[in-house]
Amino acid sequence: MLKMTDVKKVFRTDLVETHALKDFNLQVGEGDFVAVTGPSGSGKTTFLNIAGLLETFDGGTYELDGQDVSNLNDKHRSQLRNEKIGFIFQGFNLIPDLNLFDNVDVPLRYRGFNSAERKKRIENSLEMVGLAQRMKHLPSQLSGGQQQRVAIARALAGEPRFLLADEPTGNLDTKMANSVMELLKTINDAGTTIIMVTHDADLAKQARRNIYVRDGQVSEL
Amino acid sequence: MFNYYIKLAFKSFKRNPILSLLMVTAIALGIGASMTTITVNYLMSANPIPHKSEQLFHIQVDNWDPNNPFNDDEDALPNQLTWTDATNLTHAKKALRQSAMSMSGAIIEPQDSESKPFEASIRLAYTDFFAMFDVPFLYGGPWDNNSDSNREQVVVLSKRTNESVFGGENSIGKNIVIAGRHFQVVGVIDTWEVMPKFYDVNNGPFNETEELFMPFSLKEDLELPNWGNNNCWKSPDGEGYAAFLRSECINTQMWVELPNAQAEADYLDFLNNYVRSQKELGRFPRPLHNRLNDVMEWMERREVVEEDAKMMMWLSFMFLLVCLLNTIGLLLAKFTGKSSEIGLRLAVGASKADVFKQHIVETACIGLVGGIAGLGLTLVGLQGIKSLYGDFVDDLASLDASMIVVALVIALVSSIAAGLYPTWRACNISPASQLKSQ
């Protein structure tokens, strides 16, 4: 389902080259829940960005759902992101002056759904995260945990095959972190493949599979 | 998606009201300044009689000093005719319509003893003047050819003069005392303000229409004064008004109506033959050089749109450019502030083209609001011109529907142009770096 073979990523400045990923090989199957751990600067986020088609890479091959994505143009990459991938970020990344309904609506707008279909999906996904009653609220009126739930609802509204989460509980206290983790497990149980980058070893243990990234290379734990 | 982009534009407007207001103000100032000068230039250079401007011709003949041309430009001809030539050419009746004309003035004595006498401007012309220039009549009509020939004391009043003297009622057949003589009113014209007043640009192309019209032939009988330019290259041969009229001094305009190119060519032949015949009488010492100018050629030749006005227009365009440069800076600041939102939109499936369209629509909305505010400033600017130059620029300093459309189009196009670079930058940000930085 997700297959990276000898993927390389180099960040260059005038003075220095940084090899963020070196011969990175990984295969993730459908319905998997992979926790990615590793020290800071090891390449975890770079891997996630490449996996989510947010960054290009300099060598190797990457197949997403059987499709080689190495040479796709911006339009096709954005279409793939929109249809197959959902993102959850550490900082939630909600748009502050849009209410919950409109925030969850953002990815659906680029999908071409009609308004009835969008409304149904938004209501369903907010229902799933337990915030259907607050869809007219602004993000600033919610707690951190609730905001992350909205971000999850936004990621789920398009019914993606993959959910990529970059330290989704990094800004939350333990109670809220556990609550979000339970939600992710429920989503995974429903069939969505999840790749989650985390520093929290306890949370990582709750995933089906753990991998460790160090110096741009991956190893199974 | 367009409606969605509009909604986002106004959300963005509310998110940064001060920044947005600064951009709207910058565009409004630029549009206000440029539209004020464009409007004045547009009205100055407008075709005052579009349906027949190519059939009406102002005549120029070179009766000037053999040793010195009329002015430094070798191609320049005297811009008026002598009374003698204008009268001869009119009486020849070689055109479909023709009229010598000049401006004068006299005192009107209202019959109502309570009203005070007042001075009125007069257009001395032949009867063809009215048909040639499509002058609309409220009451009656023009005098006839016999009145021209027999020097009858008949008069056509402007609507305003009729209101002043006769209270606006139908005054046809009534008497009016002008310059101490009794005239019979034969017509009252309706509102008629040609802008520019092409038929006599010597006396101010933006002046009001005259208050009275009377047969040109009366100029000699009444010894009416000449209002406007009078240029001479040699002194009259003798003393008195008759000698002045028959001198080589130029003070008369001459217009003819020629319906087609053949008529124009024929008339020029006639004009050349006329000048040759005058040369045999010892006049026209300079080489044969005559010219017919249609309405727009004449206005261009006489530089009805002054260089100052053109310069002001270009300066105001420069000011608009400066305002747009400021807008570019403000847009860069605004879109930089939206980097995280743009990063998010790219991450969840927006293409660069989607982001580009969203921000161009936002820029266009700012431009449109700026354009509307600019129209308000244009009205203020035009009001300022009116108060500076007086009532006679009333018609020049007014905004018509086409200029409103022009203002909005300029505002839209210029703001979109200003938004291209900031928008291009916005859609080229790296979503990964923006999302991680949150």
pLDDT tens per residue, range A88-106: 888 888 999 899 999 999 9
Query: Residue B137: pLDDT band by 50, 70, 90 thresholds?
Result: very high
For residue A219, list its beta bridge partners.
A212
Q: Count of alpha carbons within 13 Å of A116, Cβ hemisphere only?
A: 0
Local structure of residue B169 (DSSP, 8 states): S
B91 token code pair: 């009486």
What is the nearest CA distance from B49 to chain A, expressed in angstroms? 54
The pLDDT value recorded for residue B256 is: 97
The pLDDT value recorded for residue B436 is: 64
Instruction: Please list, in sequence order, all residues whose beta carbon lies within 8 angstroms of the beta carbon of residue A49, skipping any fewer than 6 positions away.
Output: A55, B432
pLDDT tens per residue, range B150-165: 999 999 999 999 998 9
- Strand B250-257 and strand B118-125: pairing? unpaired
Query: Residue B429: pLDDT band by 50, 70, 90 thresholds?
Result: confident
Alpha carbons B379 and B32: distance in angstroms, whole number? 8
Cα-based angle B391, B396, B402 (whole degrees, multiple of 5):
140
Q: Which residues of A30-54 are buried (b: 16+ CB within 10 A; e: fewer)?
A: eebbbbbbbeeebbbbbbbbbbbbb
Q: Which amino acid is at B318?
A: M
Instruction: Please list, in sequence order, all residues whose beta carbon lies within 8 angstroms of the beta carbon of residue B432, skipping any fewer than 6 positions away.
Output: A45, A49, A54, A55, B343
Closest Cα partner for B134 from B298, B300, B295, B301? B295
Instruction: Please list, in sequence order, all residues whose beta carbon lies within 8 angstroms of the beta carbon of residue B100, skipping any fewer than 6 positions away.
Output: B81, B83, B86, B87, B89, B90, B125, B126, B216, B252, B253, B254
The pLDDT value recorded for residue A157 is: 87
> Residue B162, Cβ neighbours under 10 Å: how many?
25
8 Å CB contact of B11 and A97: yes
Number of domains comprising chain A:
1
**Residue from B348, B357, B435 to probe the interface with A (highest A Cβ count within 10 Å):** B348
8 Å CB contact of A97 and B340: no
pLDDT tens per residue, range B223-281: 999 998 899 999 988 888 999 999 999 999 999 999 999 999 999 999 999 999 999 99
Cα-based angle A175, A178, A184 (whole degrees, multiple of 5):
145
> Residue B107, Cβ neighbours under 10 Å: how many?
12
Phi-psi region of A125 (alpha: psi -120 to 50; beta: other; left: phi over 0): alpha
Chain B residues with CB-CB distance to A90 below 8 A: 438
Residue B116, judged by CB atoms within 10 A of its CB (0-12, 13-18, 19+), counts as exposed
Query: Residue A32: pLDDT band by 50, 70, 90 thresholds?
Result: very high
8 Å CB contact of B11 and A83: no
Rg (CA), chain A: 17
B41 token code pair: 């230039």
8 Å CB contact of B349 and A78: yes
B402 alpha carbon, distance to own chain's centre: 15
Alpha carbons B2 and A75: distance in angstroms, whole number? 19
DSSP class per residue in B287-332: PP-EEEEEHHHHHHHTTSS-HHHHHHHHHHHHHHHHHHHHHHHHHH
Tell me which chain B residue has its CA closest to the CA of residue A78.
B349
Average pLDDT of chain B to the nearest whole number: 89
Question: Looking at residue A190, which CATH number applies to its domain?
Answer: 3.40.50.300
The pLDDT value recorded for residue A45 is: 87
- Classified as helix, coil or strand, A6 is strand
- pTM for the whole thing? 0.69
What is the nearest CA distance from B22 to chain A, expressed in angstroms? 21
Least confident of A41-45, B36-40, B105-109, B342-346: B36-40
Closest Cα partner for B199 from B278, B269, B288, B304? B304
Q: Quote the domain boundaries for residue A10.
A: 2-220
The pLDDT value recorded for residue B392 is: 54
8 Å CB contact of B438 and A89: yes
Averaged pLDDT, A163-191: 84
What is the nearest CA distance from A88 to chain B, expressed in angstroms? 10
The pLDDT value recorded for residue B438 is: 47
pLDDT tens per residue, range B371-383: 999 999 988 888 8
Model ipTM? Answer: 0.90
What is the nearest CA distance from A77 to chain B, expressed in angstroms? 8
pLDDT tens per residue, range B330-356: 999 888 888 888 988 998 889 999 999
Chain B residues with CB-CB distance to A87 below 8 A: 347-348, 435
Alpha carbons B136 and B157: distance in angstroms, whole number? 12
Instruction: Please list, in sequence order, all residues whose beta carbon lies within 8 angstroms of the beta carbon of residue B297, skipping any fewer than 6 positions away.
Output: none
CB B124 within 8 A of CB B214: yes
The pLDDT value recorded for residue B364 is: 93
Averaged pLDDT, A25-37: 91
CB A210 within 8 A of CB A37: yes
Average pLDDT of chain A to the nearest whole number: 88
Query: Residue A201: pLDDT band by 50, 70, 90 thresholds?
Result: confident
Residue with tokens 């910058």: B26
Instruction: Please list, in sequence order, all residues whose beta carbon lies within 8 angstroms of the beta carbon of residue A59, skipping any fewer than 6 positions away.
Output: A6, A7, A8
8 Å CB contact of B349 and A92: no
Torsion of CA A63, A34, A149, A40, to 10 degrees: -90
The pLDDT value recorded for residue B203 is: 81
